[in-house]
Amino acid sequence: MNAPEASVLRDTILAAKAAGLRLANLSSPQRRALLEALAEAFEEPQMQSAIIAGNRLDLDLARDAEKEGELASALVNRLSIDAKKIATLCDGLRQMSRAPEVVGQQLTNRLLDDNLLLKRITCPLGVLGVVFEARPDALVQITGLALKSGNAVILKGGKEALNTNRALCVVIHKVLAAHNIDVRAVVLIEDRAGVAELLKQNDLVDLMIARGSSQFVHYVRDNTSIPVMAHADGICHVYLHRDADANKAARIAVDAKTSYPAACNTVETLLWDANAPVALDSAINALLAANVQVRGCEATRARHPKIVAATEADWDTEYGELIISVKQVADLDEALAHIARHGSRHTEAIITQDQAAADRFLAEVDAACCFHNASTRFSDGYRFGLGAEVGISTDKLHARGPVGVEGLVTYRWLLSGDGQITTEYGEGKKSYLHKDL
């Protein structure tokens, strides 16, 4: 939709909600067939050409903007889509098709009394709002996850991918229509004004998923009463314990910092035990060799005088680029305290050969992901084996950490009786059986 008026968008979301009910009640074979058909449609040569043509338009606009210094080249790379990327997306859709059903799963089956049966059954949330970065494959993955979980979805992708996203939605709508599902089960919003309207529909939209900059996530959280699933910040630490292996320290520090500096699971601060100078030296030398700017506390600079001095602000900074701050701590206690104060509850790692220290770190750090001798960058739905990832949540309620399709369902309690009333039960009257079947 272009420049949606409030009432138009609201009507569309009402239609999405109704379409969602149809998605919710698809049989398992129907849902599989729908995802399979989506993969097939994306493989049709005519559809591929249309998508790639749309993408070329976006890329040309992006390259023009880039020349004017407006767009990072990393963004242009993420923006592009070709036959190979499409084939990967189709693989993903087929994997989702084959994956176990998440809708209609029985969680409880309990006889409260004769002929009074309580079931708890998973169901979709209803209508999802998803705002995501300029990465067209995200649109396909999110749509697949929404269909797999039986949710309608209102999508808003990065504006740089608009033409690609339009072409992708043509394919999706064609498949929905062929399966007798209102195409408004998947809605593409095309501008920021639409997002502002979307955020007001708290009686229709069940979950907002916000991906993108920390600033944008804060904007979403501050401007809606719809529940938001997001990670606003990703301030992750790697702690070199006094029994850290120097080689692992270097490998993990470099991977955690450099393999994708803009990612939320990238390390921002390296903590080192005062008794782990060898591991520290190994990590710092490897980071410097990988062109990382290292900013150190006084104790760190006492060993490595050439590095930049860190300020207090560094301990709360998500750099998003090849910069890392380094701080000495006295011991595990001080590392835990620093992480509790400055971490964003995303991913925290300890490097140590001491199992007891690792056990304590994993037991006591309050974060979605707590790692021992592994890079923080493993914190990812695909790497965790969740299939496609909706996003990473640093909230504690509902899904936590990397969120796959299971994070897009809830449940309902269904009770079937033959006329029972509560005043029949109680002291001196009938008792509940509470028998799990």
Q: Which is nearer to its own copies, 293 or 373 (CB)?
A: 373
Residue 386 DSSP class: -
Residue 115 · residue 417 · CB < 8 Å = yes
Residue type, 187: V
**Cβ 218 to its own copies shortest distance, Å:** 11
Cα(first)–Cα(last) distance of the chain, in Å? Answer: 49
Q: Which is nearer to its own copies, 72 or 362 (CB)?
A: 362
**Cβ 245 to its own copies shortest distance, Å:** 7
Distance CA 207, CA 225 (A): 10
Q: Which is nearer to its own copies, 44 or 417 (CB)?
A: 417
DSSP SS3 for 55: helix
Residue 351 · residue 245 · CB < 8 Å = yes
Task: Report the DSSP beta bridge partners of residue 392.
Answer: 402
Residue 184 · residue 172 · CB < 8 Å = no
Distance CA 129, CA 195 (A): 9
**Cβ 408 to its own copies shortest distance, Å:** 10
Instruction: Classify residue 218 by burial, with Cβ atoms within 10 Å: 0-12, 13-18, 19+.
Output: middle
Distance CA 141, CA 253 (A): 30
Q: Which is nearer to its own copies, 42 or 371 (CB)?
A: 371
Sequence-distant (6+) residues with CB within 8 A of 46 are none
Q: Which is nearer to its own copies, 71 or 361 (CB)?
A: 361
Q: Which is nearer to its own copies, 167 or 350 (CB)?
A: 350
Q: Which is nearer to its own copies, 61 or 262 (CB)?
A: 262
**Cβ 185 to its own copies shortest distance, Å:** 16
Residue 261 · residue 319 · CB < 8 Å = yes
**Cβ 248 to its own copies shortest distance, Å:** 4
Q: Which is nearer to its own copies, 12 or 163 (CB)?
A: 12
Q: Which is nearer to its own copies, 293 or 410 (CB)?
A: 410
Residue 246 · residue 214 · CB < 8 Å = no
Structure tokens that stand for 390 in this block: 């909706």
Of the candidates 181, 173, 219, 177, the residue with the CA atom closest to the CA atom of residue 198 = 219
Of the candidates 120, 117, 121, the residue with the CA atom closest to the CA atom of residue 415 = 117
**Cβ 326 to its own copies shortest distance, Å:** 19
Q: Which is nearer to its own copies, 245 or 273 (CB)?
A: 245
**Cβ 249 to its own copies shortest distance, Å:** 9
Helices (H), 68-200: 73-79, 83-98, 136-148, 162-178, 192-199
**Cβ 385 to its own copies shortest distance, Å:** 4
**Cβ 261 to its own copies shortest distance, Å:** 13
Q: Which is nearer to its own copies, 24 or 175 (CB)?
A: 24
Rg (CA), the chain: 25
Residue 125 DSSP class: -
**Cβ 254 to its own copies shortest distance, Å:** 8
**Cβ 190 to its own copies shortest distance, Å:** 27
Residue 131 · residue 208 · CB < 8 Å = yes
Distance CA 263, CA 243 (A): 28
The residues of the shown chain that bind its own copies, judged by CB under 8 A, are 21, 24-25, 110, 112, 116, 118, 125-126, 206-207, 227, 245, 247-248, 251-252, 254-256, 259, 358, 362-364, 366-375, 377-380, 383-385, 395-398, 400-402, 410-423, 425, 432, 434
Q: Is 212 left (phi over 0), alpha (psi -120 to 50) or beta?
A: left
